[in-house]
Amino acid sequence: MSTKNLLIELFVEELPPKALKKLGEAFASAIFDSLKAQGLAAADAAVTPFASPRRLAVHVADVAARAADKPVTHKLMPVNVGLDAEGKATPALLKRLAAMGLNEAIVPYLKRASDGKSEALFHDSMTKGATLAEGLQKALDEALTKLPIPKVMAYQLHANCEQPGWSTVNFVRPVHGLVALHGAEVVAVSALGLNAGHTTQGHRFEAAVSPVSIKAADSYAAQMESEGAVIASFEARRADIARQLDDAAAKIGGGVKPVADDALLDEVTGLVERPNVLVGCFGEEFLAVPQECLILTMKANQKYFPLLDQAGKLSNKFLIVSNISPADTSAVIGGNERVVRPRLADAKFFFDQDRKKTLESRVAKLGNVVYHNKLGTQLERVRRVSKMAGEIARHLNASAELAERAATLSKADLLTDMVGEFPELQGIMGQYYARHDGEREEVARAIEQHYWPRFAGDALPQDNIGAAAALADKLDTLIGIYGIGLVPTGDKDPFGLRRHALGVLRILVEMRLPLDLLQLLQQTRASFPAEMLADSVAVDVHGFMLERLKGYLRDKDFAPDEIDAVVSQSPTRIDLVMPRIEAVRAFKKLPEAEALAAANKRIQNILKKAGDIPAGEPDPALMAEAAEKALFEAVTKLAPGVFSAVSNGGYTEALTALAGVRAEVDAFFDAVMVMAEELPLRNNRLALLRDLGRLMNQVADISKLAA
């Protein structure tokens, strides 16, 4: 069957830049998936998506003009319903055949086969494969329905001879053209009130010809670039911008580099069709403003790329990604410099005004800011967090006074003009203003770092003062929000509880802080009024956080059984989880590990079925079998060393030592009947297994390693 390459393009008004990459990928994927499902495209066909501010397109290789015919089997009805005692068709079968356009002559050719319940009648036929026009129309309709459109708009189609009257169309932006080419031939499809053709539009200002007549599917990208002045591929355009940014920075010299920001690069790629990177500059007087403010206003408001030197210090030069390439760029550069100046002037004004009042003077006004209508004001929250930060600092042998001071001032910058304009700067501005107010450096640093880590992979607080403030703040959010019933469900987590939980876990694990998580949660719960939150909230949040811990450990490439062995014991000392799970991984490599894990699982099952076992140590006088005496002696000899190793953090040593008891364990289960009829004998053997189980599970529940 002959094939040709296929091109589909929707020419639209400017698409939302932040959504463009996802829209382009989704459009290409949906078109291809539908063609593949209909047998018009091979599963391994090359698919190339295109997405620019004014177009979504896809190129699919080796698409058939018609799909191959397919054999189809139709189940008709049970044999005893369709045929009478003489094997002739019943009225029910004849009616069914007539509905399918068949008659009685086909009856002898019907197949008999089991449908899983009874013998049934089946009819085999061939279904003609879809033509490309039919299949592509279906693919287009499905793709447009599935697009992840952030916000749909309605617009009116112009009346014409073919479509008299006005009609309303709903799409992300108005669509003005549709190209559908199979090789060089137009495919007769339509979408959003438009019929397919072979012409499209190029760059709004710089196209060499208008419209651009696409000769064939394979010439699309080259024609769009040469005739339309458009780099149609999102990825190619993105790479071109990245290259130009680096080249422009290299020409400036001094080791400056553009700020690395993938989201900004994606957004700018969604704003331009033919990028041209230019260099602008602003007055050096603005460098007195904290560079985070300047960087944010240039990125967020103007989509510029600020330049940093090798020390990470902001330069007064920045890079503009223009959509036009005039011979004289001075007007473009000058216009952008004029636009950015008032933005930077606003930032400088906010910074100067904010420093006229201390952070401390703003704290009382947090009483006018509602944190949550069920949890009170930000001032009440700050007081809780401050007290908790001090408690944590004491446990860490750090200054409780400094931790409390940092927590008290931590939310004051929410009332500043700068943070009011740029909420992303909360904490960062608090740090600058604290230094200006003469606060201790540890306090200023902790004000910013109490938000850390803000996202997966973000930096952790740099010292115990910052860690105390960060833990107190996140724990207060977790206990408070969870305690009033706002538990994350599915993808919905408006208060970022999963993020806060992971932040607490990372601080405890990676900073190796010797803190008991459940105790911290209980202390945090106690800081709220008794009637405000659910009584079980500390235990509930601990369970919630252990689920996040499993995900964290999976990301560290630990196996599910290794994770389960440690986390199933509901650990509260999270700083000890990593050495314990590493010990479990080392234990798994021992030749005795599999047998001991299976024995441990057997022990737990026996103890669970036995129910309550009388307290007390096993009595050697009641041991009748040599195997149980040998196991008792081995356990008695091994226990002190295992307990000592665990108490000193020697988890690998403790688990490795268990290998020495494998022979006695095997012999015990081979020779000893645990559930003996004599009650004293049975209880004594159960007590021995209980002690052995406790010994084996000091580090982790190794029964979880059993197959």
Kindly list the domain boundaries of the chain, sorted by start residue: 3-67+131-226, 77-126, 234-354, 360-557, 579-705
Instruction: Give the C-alpha separation, 28 to 6, whole Å.
Output: 12
CATH architecture of 360-557: Orthogonal Bundle (1.10)
Radius of gyration of the chain (CA): 36
Domains 3-67+131-226 and 579-705 share a fold: no
pLDDT at 495: 94
Quickly name the fold that domain 579-705 has.
Isoleucyl-tRNA Synthetase; Domain 1 (1.10.730)
Instruction: Give the C-alpha separation, 505 to 567, whole Å.
Output: 13
Cβ neighbors of 101 (< 8 A, separation 6 or more) are none
pLDDT beneath 70, residues of the chain? 1, 158-166
Q: What single string gives the DSSP state of each residue in 360-393?
A: HHHHGGGGGSEEETTTEEHHHHHHHHHHHHHHHH
Instruction: Give the C-alpha separation, 180 to 198, whole Å.
Output: 7
pLDDT at 181: 97
CATH architecture of 3-67+131-226: 2-Layer Sandwich (3.30)
pLDDT at 608: 87
Cβ neighbors of 396 (< 8 A, separation 6 or more) are 464, 467, 468, 513, 514, 515
Instruction: Give the C-alpha separation, 279 to 249, whole Å.
Output: 9
Q: Decide: 175 and 10 in contact? Cβ < 8 Å.
A: yes
pLDDT at 103: 87
